[in-house]
Chains A and B, each alone.
Chain A
């Protein structure tokens, strides 16, 4: 089992201080890794840094055996590291079809089907809405579109930033089922989630982030079994210091 994506001593931030204060992470091929932690712990920042939208100030990001610190986001995505942002994750003024087409064209698709057939069957509703403006879709439909766009060229790693945010429990459930199926079809997944319990339910590994550092990393089942999960969500200040 090889490590597809890893970081070593990663530091990153926006302004004066660092938000990420030395992150070590390893994502193994074929697995689903979920990142959880309180608000402000740096989960989104971490994923953005992995995607290349934020520069790593210190440390390494290694993807498929190569150090990708200097790689621009388009280069990373063409190399197989796909990312679905938390908000504004579809081109709202373009149609569903155009959204898929663009992703397909620019992520290295060439001619051929917009989605690999085995992944396309996970999104049966999309073709019915090809002509609709992405901005007119409902929340759940938009998330599905965003997900599909990231899969138009089968990525090696798929990174999701709170894919279930704002969705009803029913839709949330459906999305996690889809993510599980995506993984079953050979895509390694890294998820950032507030919806910890559901997410961990489909994951292999769990990483807990707080205050910009990794608190611990363990198999998902083990974390689910702990009773003190909620202490992290109440923002236990001592833990985070």
Chain B
């Protein structure tokens, strides 16, 4: 039981890092990343490949993965050169995510396709004795989570963060700042991307085996739910949200024992349905909404005007 909790906690940690990254890109930067699963995949594979094919150690592989995802995000954000509407950007991220997913699935020569990559070593696994290793990994994960929290918080409170918040709220301000706007957006998305890479690396270390199916859309749903449940860009909230969501949903794996006639495919389907329903319920019943959204000028149904 203890070891199960320890393992669960490690998963919560890197899921929380993922949620924090999403929170940073979306909450602070107003750039929602619907391609999260794809970038997460990229991070995990980059880390694994750097170790397995590049011979790097886990530390540098992680840094490498962070850089790779950061660059990918930066390039994606360049699209906002002309178009800043959040919905168009979301579609672009969805598309990029899809392409990344397809690469992991199809580029056999690089990623071994559906077979996945095995034998991913864990950090310092040859140094730390194996019977206490899980605790080390847990400690490392928590440390990295706290580091992520600290870095993102510092950035959010910095002058850079204030500018970004202003840009997000007010298009006119954004317009007057011109080129700086694009640069700020690219940076935000890239920084968030770096932490997605970190989460992906930890994922690779934890499971020691990665294949494309691990990064299905559930990942996005988890992260979104965590961020929405946590609410209002509050970083601590995102972490708490990640923990709650993870526990609830991973815990539902036990349903299989309780309801034996459900085969694993069906069970997986039910879990995702629950996630979907949960996501919608969260959106409906969190009256503050998520951050100060740009509301539509007219509520079509009740015909009341709201200031955007």
Residues on A facing B (Cβ under 8 Å): 14-15, 48, 52-55, 72-73
Contact = CB atoms under 8 A, between A and B. Distances in A.
Main secondary structure, interface of A, reads loop
Contacts of B303: 52-53, 72-73
Contacts of B306: 14
Nearest to A12: B305
Contacts of B298: 53
Nearest to B306: A14
A152 B241 CA distance: 55
Given A53-B305, A73-B303, 11 more contacts: A14-B305, A14-B306, A14-B307, A15-B307, A53-B298, A53-B303, A53-B304, A54-B304, A55-B304, A72-B302, A72-B303
Interface residues of B, number: 7
Contacts of A72: 302-303
Nearest to B301: A72
Contacts of A73: 303
A125 to B, nearest CB: 31
A178 B296 CA distance: 35
17 contacts: A14-B305, A14-B306, A14-B307, A15-B307, A48-B305, A52-B303, A53-B298, A53-B303, A53-B304, A53-B305, A54-B304, A54-B305, A55-B302, A55-B304, A72-B302, A72-B303, A73-B303
B145 to A, nearest CB: 38
Contacts of A15: 307
Interface in B253-308: 298, 302-307
A48 B304 CA distance: 10
Interface string B122-148: 000000000000000000000000000
Contacts of A48: 305
A203 B304 CA distance: 30
Nearest to A54: B305
B169 to A, nearest CB: 14
Task: Give the 8 A-B CB pairs with smallest separation, nearest first.
Answer: A14-B307, A54-B305, A55-B304, A73-B303, A72-B303, A53-B305, A15-B307, A52-B303
B7 to A, nearest CB: 48
B258 to A, nearest CB: 49
A203 to B, nearest CB: 27
Contacts of B304: 53-55
A14 B295 CA distance: 13
A16 to B, nearest CB: 10
Contacts of A14: 305-307
Nearest to A45: B305
Nearest to B307: A14
Contacts of A52: 303
Contacts of B307: 14-15
